Amino acid sequence: MTKTEHHVLGLSGGKDSTALAVYLHQKVPNMTYFFCDTGEELPETYEYLNKIKARLGIEINYLAAERGFQHWLDVYNCYLPSPQARWCTKQMKILPLERFIKDKFGDNTVYSYIGIRADEPQREGYLSKQPNIISKLPFRDDDINKEDVIRILDESGIGMPKYYEWRSRSGCYFCFYQRKYEWVKLAEQHPELFEKAKQFEQEHSDGRMYSWSDGETLDELLARKDEIIANHEKSLARHKKKKPNQALIHTIEDILNEEDDELPCLACHL
């Protein structure tokens, strides 16, 4: 049987994958868009996806894992996921995506477009190991950097996701990649989600205690919130001196990224 070719683009709710959708939606009109929905996303992410759909006139396939986070937490013996044990990405994003591609396209060739920019370091992550899924990196090929991404989003009328005012990445509200400042802001912006994240630290049948953030529980982290905010504001002031004309939303995103010592996974945060 003759093999056919298909094109897919995963939206994470972040700026790079969104800019890539804007960049390609006319060049690749038969693109299939998808969003891997863990069920633990920020409300701002769903709002942003609605805005993308409305502006570009596209459909998005929401791919949900068959079982939710609590189920997988039990399977993994209560160990919270971490950069070293990223079972959440595998169970809640990569496997649902591979199932979707298999069901929809079988063994046909699928080009998967990924929003890694030309100015980013080499990153590991979801570059599929399935032989029929071929990764394409148009921003790398066309030398598109962060400034270009911001411009593409501004010109499209979509703009940046709203959560960039206090958080630098898309993904689950409890993502362990977030900085301590972002946890403090989660408690302020979405106190109910912060409480849910705390419960995942605490409620284990084995009686053990786990923490999302290095070296302290969320309660301990929040008790230091004044110190964490003061440190963040010092970085902000330093950065504003270097780039006085930069919009605040971009400055915040820059400094949160500067504080990063871990590169996040491609499946979740582009």
Indicate whether 112 belongs to the interface with ligand SF4 (CB under 6 A).
no
- Minimum distance, C-beta of residue 124 to ligand SF4, in the bound complex (Å): 13
Residue selected from 88, 97, 222, 255 as contacting ligand SF4 according to rule CB under 6 A: 88
Q: 């419960």: which residue's tokens?
A: 199
- Minimum distance, C-beta of residue 268 to ligand SF4, in the bound complex (Å): 3
Looking only at residues 158 through 197 of this chain, which bind ligand SF4 when binding is defined by CB under 6 A?
171-172, 175, 177
- Minimum distance, C-beta of residue 177 to ligand SF4, in the bound complex (Å): 6
- Minimum distance, C-beta of residue 176 to ligand SF4, in the bound complex (Å): 6
Separation between Cα atoms, residue 157 and residue 55, nearest integer Å: 8
Q: Among 14-22, 85-93, 95-103, 240-248, which window interacts with ligand SF4 (CB under 6 A)?
A: 85-93
Separation between Cα atoms, residue 259 and residue 195, nearest integer Å: 25
Separation between Cα atoms, residue 183 and residue 197, nearest integer Å: 10
Separation between Cα atoms, residue 37 and residue 128, nearest integer Å: 18
Looking only at residues 24 through 83 of this chain, which bind ligand SF4 when binding is defined by CB under 6 A?
38, 81
- Minimum distance, C-beta of residue 77 to ligand SF4, in the bound complex (Å): 17
CA dihedral 64, 69, 73, 74 (to 10 degrees): -80
Looking only at residues 222 through 261 of this chain, which bind ligand SF4 when binding is defined by CB under 6 A?
none
Query: Going by C-beta distance under 8 Å and a sequence separation of 6 or more, which residues neighbour residue 174?
Result: 40, 193, 196, 197, 200, 212
**Contact between residue 110 and residue 136 where contact means Cβ atoms under 8 Å apart:** no
Q: Is 42 exposed, middle or buried (0-12, 13-18, 19+ CB in 10 A)?
A: buried
Instruction: Choose between 105 and 182: whose C-beta lies nearer to ligand SF4.
Output: 182
Residues pairing with 233 in the sheet:
none
* Residues in binding contact with ligand SF4, number by CB under 6 A: 13
- Minimum distance, C-beta of residue 5 to ligand SF4, in the bound complex (Å): 29
Residues that bind ligand SF4 (CB under 6 A): 38, 81, 86, 88-89, 92-93, 171-172, 175, 177, 265, 268
